[in-house]
Amino acid sequence: MEKNVGTLDSYLRITIGLTMLGTGILQKSLSRIVFGSGKVAEGVTRFCPALYLMGINTKDLDKKRDSEVSSENTL
């Protein structure tokens, strides 16, 4: 299983997943609990099956951002 979720994307998935999980528990919504748990799992493992099926890789955005930051620091 190759990682296909970037760092920022991973943090967002964990944050949104925990929020959905918490609100699902408060509202007793099983679907929100399951969906939130899935987003947390995707953020922790840094693998998203939907992105894999579509051939999208957000890790490439990390490399692009890092190269832009390093080029700005050399100026």
C-alpha–C-alpha distance, residues 55 and 36, integer Å: 23
pLDDT score for 10: 95
Is the CB of residue 24 less than 8 Å from the CB of residue 36?
yes
In a domain? residue 74: no
In a domain? residue 61: yes
Say which residue the tokens 């929100």 belong to: 32
The pLDDT of 51-67, averaged and rounded, is: 84
In a domain? residue 11: yes
Domain count, the chain: 1
* pLDDT of 69 above 90: no
* pLDDT of 19 above 90: yes
DSSP E strand boundaries for the chain: none
Is the CB of residue 46 less than 8 Å from the CB of residue 72?
no
% pLDDT > 90, the chain: 72
Task: Say how many Å lie between the first and final Cα of the chain, rounded.
Answer: 38
In a domain? residue 1: no
Q: Which domain holds residue 37?
A: 7-69
Q: What is the reported pTM? A: 0.81
